[in-house]
Amino acid sequence: MIKKEMLCVLGRQDIPVIQEQPDFIADLLQTNILMFGSAMSGKTNLLKLLITILHKQYRETDEQIFILDFGGALSEFESLPLVAAYFDNANEEYVKRVFKLVEDQLKENITALKGKNYISVNDNQPIHTTLLIDNVNAFLDEPRYSMYQEKLAKLCRDGLSKGITIVMTASSTKGLGSYMNSFKQKIALEMPADSYTDIFSNKVIPVGNNPGHGYANVTVVPKNIKSTFPLQSAYELQLNIADNITEPKFYKNAHRVFENRSVKKYKRFPETLTEIEFNRFVEGITLTDDKSYVGLDYTDCKPYEVDFDSTKVIAIYGKKEFGKTNLLRRLVKPLVSSEKYHFVFFDDGREQLKNISEVLPKNGRNVYIQGYAEGVLKTKTGAENIVKLSPIQLFVKHIHEYYMDLSGIRRMSNLVLNDIFGTGVVIGSYASESVRTNTVFVLQSKFLYVNSPAAKIFMEIILPSLAARAEENNWIFIFSDVKSISDSDNRDNFNSCIETAFLLDSIAEFVSERGQKSIFGNMDVKSLKEEYARCEIGDGYAYSIEKDDLKKIKFIKDEVGYYG
């Protein structure tokens, strides 16, 4: 439906100069609306009234509504068919999401309208968007939302001509001076006397404690009014009372008209995303057993999947106790269930991989390397020496014996095995005869990231060689707690092998502090601050290096003891 106007009757006005009491009408294609009022004066009623009117007059192909509720009184409207998103201020990411979604809609509309105004086109008119912000003063007063204020100002300035209308309520004029010119329609309910002058530039008699009663200028002259009068003056107003959406009459009518159709919904995630909650969000989406589903994309609420057929090297970065081990459990879940994989765990003194390792079948398919241990090394003369091997020596020895013969590989002029185990050592390898395929390497040891000869050899030679053969042999490498790598060559070699990286931390802060020494090193801190909010517990990021695609994720809280 091509819309040239969106008239909403919101109440009645008293205009003494023409001795008329006409309907108070706002055209959402011609004006943004800014409403002021003290507590309990009826501000939220206006938003409810608009929402119910839009549901009576338009369909899901014509209108979508985004709600930012800083007053806490609009949650019941979340499920209505035209409400694309309802978010309060409990999680900064939701505020960020709304602005991103509406900004993206503005960009799409500008492209679709091809330089024309919204009401000027005669075909291919985009869906109209209404952004409702209840208690905008709370938004402006909160320091963590300061970076979004310019985004709001831009939407107020540029959105209306492109099919996006902003409706805001406020308790005072504080901080709103720069926004006023973008709101042709102003309404003021109960307010201090001097505030009316700030809003309308003329004095009025305060209305007192009379909910829904106040003043407004006129932006739409009713068709039956023939006389002229000053439109910008403040005239007395009595708002209509919004329908109660819980009443059977409203519910049945909405159900009949929309027949379970709705606009695309952007849902809130629970504070903890359990498996049950995840399944509720993805109901109707086909999931496959061989893929690892770690959480939900914050922007479009779709499941984020890791396809191990195409992703062989994964790195996990993040804060302590921010969910790295939980994410690891989610990643290996389908691999454990398939029962076809070998597992090699390379742990350190923290023993954070032990719980996963111990519940896997003890059938030779599960190798756990953690601390120093005695081992037998042969010399060229055939003598056997019992020596204490470091964790990284044990790990490289296992790689050499079963996965990749390192005996002929040199670094500079030296043999790799001599550099790691000492000159004259001979270690047999079965890899040349029968390479083990279908193996998951879970690597959490700090020894991989220190500036040592063995770590350097691993990063420079062994890891790139393993990664190059990973697809052919179905080897999967998960670096489950990546530490800072000070050696630039080691870091570059490591980064070049990573295909997907996860970060469980606020990304702008992470990049600012240690970004140059991570896979995220080329990202711009300023852009990240503008694009992404701070992380709550259970939040993080997934970064596809090949696609250069960064997504914010709400990770699933895995059940403790799942493998048991």
Are residues 308 and 241 part of one domain?
A: no
- What letter would DSSP give residue 463? H
CB 41 within 8 A of CB 52: no
Are residues 208 and 114 part of one domain?
A: yes
Read off the tokens for 194. 């001097």
End-of-domain residue from the set 226, 258, 290: 258
Are residues 288 and 195 part of one domain?
A: no
Domain that holds residue 309: 275-370+438-555
Per run of 10 residues, the mean pLDDT along the chain (length 564 residues) is 94 93 97 96 95 96 96 92 91 86 95 94 94 96 87 96 97 92 96 90 87 96 88 95 91 87 88 90 83 88 90 93 90 85 91 83 80 81 80 93 90 84 84 88 92 90 95 96 89 93 92 80 84 84 92 87 42
Virtual torsion, Cα 230, 233, 235, 239, nearest 10 deg:
110
So what's the pLDDT on residue 515? 66
Are residues 472 and 330 part of one domain?
A: yes
- H or E segment to which residue 479 belongs: strand 475-479
So what's the pLDDT on residue 117? 95
Are residues 226 and 193 part of one domain?
A: yes
- Residue 140 counted as domain residue: yes
Read off the tokens for 203. 């004095």
Strands 128-134 and 63-69: parallel
Read off the tokens for 454. 């063995």
- Residue 76 counted as domain residue: yes
Are residues 301 and 244 part of one domain?
A: no
The CA distances from residue 473 to 11, 420, 467, 470, in Å, are: 72, 25, 10, 5
Are residues 283 and 363 part of one domain?
A: yes
So what's the pLDDT on residue 560? 61
- Residue 64 counted as domain residue: yes
Are residues 487 and 339 part of one domain?
A: yes
So what's the pLDDT on residue 562? 43
- Residue 65 counted as domain residue: yes
Residue owning tokens 């939040």: 539
Are residues 41 and 106 part of one domain?
A: yes
Residue owning tokens 């290996």: 332
- Residue 222 counted as domain residue: yes
Are residues 142 and 29 part of one domain?
A: yes
Amino acid letter at 149?
A: Q
254-303 pLDDT, tens per residue? 888 998 899 998 888 888 899 999 998 888 888 887 788 999 998 778 89
- Residue 216 counted as domain residue: yes
- Residue 408 counted as domain residue: no
Are residues 100 and 65 part of one domain?
A: yes
221-253 pLDDT, tens per residue? 988 888 889 999 999 999 999 999 988 889 888
So what's the pLDDT on residue 354? 87
Which are the contacts of 242, defined by CB distance < 8 A and separation ≥ 6?
A: 45, 48, 49, 51, 52
End-of-domain residue from the set 258, 286, 304: 258
Q: What's the CA gap between 281 and 270, in Å, rounded?
A: 11
So what's the pLDDT on residue 290? 74
- Residue 316 counted as domain residue: yes
Query: pTM value?
Result: 0.79
Q: What's the CA gap between 330 and 327, in Å, rounded?
A: 5
Q: What's the CA gap between 136 and 69, in Å, rounded?
A: 9
User: What long-range pairs does 282-286 form, CB within 8 A, spacing at least 24?
Assistant: none
The CATH number given to whatever domain includes residue 184 is: 3.40.50.300
Are residues 336 and 474 part of one domain?
A: yes
Structural domains counted in the chain: 2
Which are the contacts of 188, defined by CB distance < 8 A and separation ≥ 6?
A: 35, 36, 37, 195, 196, 199, 200, 214, 215, 216, 234
So what's the pLDDT on residue 253? 87
